Structure formats: structure tokens, C-alpha cells
Amino acid sequence: MKVTEYNNIKIKKVSGALGAIIENIQLDKNLDGNTLNEIYDAFLEHQVIFFRDQNLNPASLLSFSKKISTPIIYPFIKGLESFPEITPILKKEKDVNNFGGIWHSDTTYLNEPPKGTMLYALEVPEFGGDTEFSNQYLAYETLSDGMKLFLEKQKALNISGKEKASLTRSDVLKHSSANIESNEFEAVHPVIRTHPETKKKSLYINEAHTTHFIGMTEDESTPILKFLFKHQIKSEFTCRFKWEKGSVAIWDNRCTMHNPINDYHGYRRLMHRISFKGDKPF
């Protein structure tokens, strides 16, 4: 694997599979073009990048996000009043369900799912609330040749209203629902996706939204999908990030999955989330 040399940023890998912390960068500063280019190169190379000790208000968060890509509005939760592209993700002390608390790629039920997502931590619990990420290049590359051959020809249906995913939204929608029905969206995507920038192939299904292969019934699809859902989150494909107040993560939705861990009941957690415009998977 090619390793990029960086002159303007300092990289510290999080795991052997994916993930890197970019050190000594303040995202609210006027970063020059070379630094921004290297941040984006690190995003492509490491699939998820992290920053510590940031001090961002909504204006500076949105300003930096526009230097990375084009922010879009998340359909189910109302954005901030003056910053609709910023989605507040709040779990209150008495909430039980963790928003997005299942392994998934973001909003694959859209015809053009976001290319990536940025998350900024404003309030974090005393313990817990980590997020896991999984490398879907590796998930594809470690499949047998026979399975690759079968999956290369497959497309799958992705829906917004799959029961497990809908449950993870239930508490946060009490605070800031956009009044859109949970089952309103669906999209068909290739099971093996080619990244439009790196040109690498990745496994592009997820337990939260994928229901079945096109041309097959759910009963026929389920045994294969269950195997794949288990395969794509093997520990050797993953990294885990511990949030602190002021932490930022930016992940590539085209080749990763993530899972926020729901292990901090009784504590409050508030994040600001921005999604980036994507394109139709191929």
C-alpha cells in the first residue's frame, strides 16, 4: 500500500486497518491550500481522520467543512436554526437508544449517499461513547474469489425504514424531528462499489439499511447477507476512537462503516454532524 509523505501535517495511525489522528492543526484557523490538500489526502488514505482539542462554533465548523467538500442536509433531523447543514445529535441522560447505534454506512437509502461525514464533540460522557470504524476495502479484498465473482454482479436494495435502524433514531427524533416518515427513502446500489477517487473496490452493504439482493427474495438473500454483515466487521478490519470534548472525526462513507457504542446510559452526549455531498455508487 502506498504511504503518502506529508510535509504540512503530522499523522499518527490509530490501528493497522484504518484511522489516523492529525496532530497540531486547529481547524478554525486560516489553513493554507497545501495543508488542506494534505488533510484531504490523509482522509483518502486512512479513510477516517481525527483531530483533538478543537474549539469550533457552528460558523467555524461549517466554514471548515466547506473547505473539505460540499455540506448537505440530513433528512430526518432538523439542523441548527441558522446552520441547517449542521445536525445536532443529542442523547439525553434518560434516553435509551443511541443515534445510529448499529454498524452502517450513512444514508445508503439515498440515490446519492454522502461521500463522507464530519462529527464534532461538544459534550461527552465521563466514560464510554466510543465509535468503531471498519475498513470495507479490506472486507472486500479478504473475500474468496468465488464470493467476489458472485457479488460483482449483484445490486441490493437499501431502505431508510429497516427496523433496527429506525429504532436508533427514536430518541433523538423526540428532540429535533424533521417530520419525515422513517420509511420514505430507498435506493438500489451495487454490492461491490468502486471508489470514484482511489479506484479501489469495497463491500457496500450494511445491516442497518440493506434488505436483499435485486432479483432474489429476502429469504434467499438473508443467509449470504448475514455472512457478509459478520465478515465486514471483523476486528482486524477496525479501529476504535475515544471521544473527548473538542474531538473531530471525518470519515469516508464510500469505503467505511461505523458504529457508535451505546454504553453510557445516564449520561449526556452532544455532537454536531455534517454530511458531504456524494455521487451515485458504481
| pLDDT over 80 (residue 181) | no
Please state, in angstroms and rounded to a whole number, the distance separating the CA atoms of residues 274 and 277.
10
Euclidean distance between CA atoms 241 and 91, whole angstroms: 18
- The domain segmentation of the chain, as residue ranges, is 10-276
Question: What is the average per-residue pLDDT within 233-245?
Answer: 98
- pLDDT tens sequence across 139-156: 999 999 999 999 999 999
The C-alpha cell 464510554 sits at 128
10-276: CATH topology is Double-stranded beta-helix (3.60.130)
Pair 193, 202: CB distance under 8 Å: yes
What does the angle CA 75 – CA 81 – CA 87 come to, to the nearest 5 degrees?
Answer: 40
Question: Would the pLDDT of 179 be above 70?
Answer: no
Give first-to-last CA distance, the chain, whole Å. 23
pTM over 0.85: yes
Using an 8 Å Cβ cutoff, are 131 and 249 in contact? yes
Q: What is the pLDDT of residues 105-120, one digit of tens each?
A: 999 999 999 999 999 9
DSSP state of 77: B
Kind and range of the H or E run holding 131: strand 131-135
pLDDT at residue 1 in the model: 46
Task: Count the helices and strands in the chain (H runs, E runs).
Answer: 7, 16
pLDDT at 43 over 50: yes
Q: How far apart are CA 198 and CA 165, in angstroms?
A: 29
Confidence of residue 99 (pLDDT cuts 50, 70, 90): confident
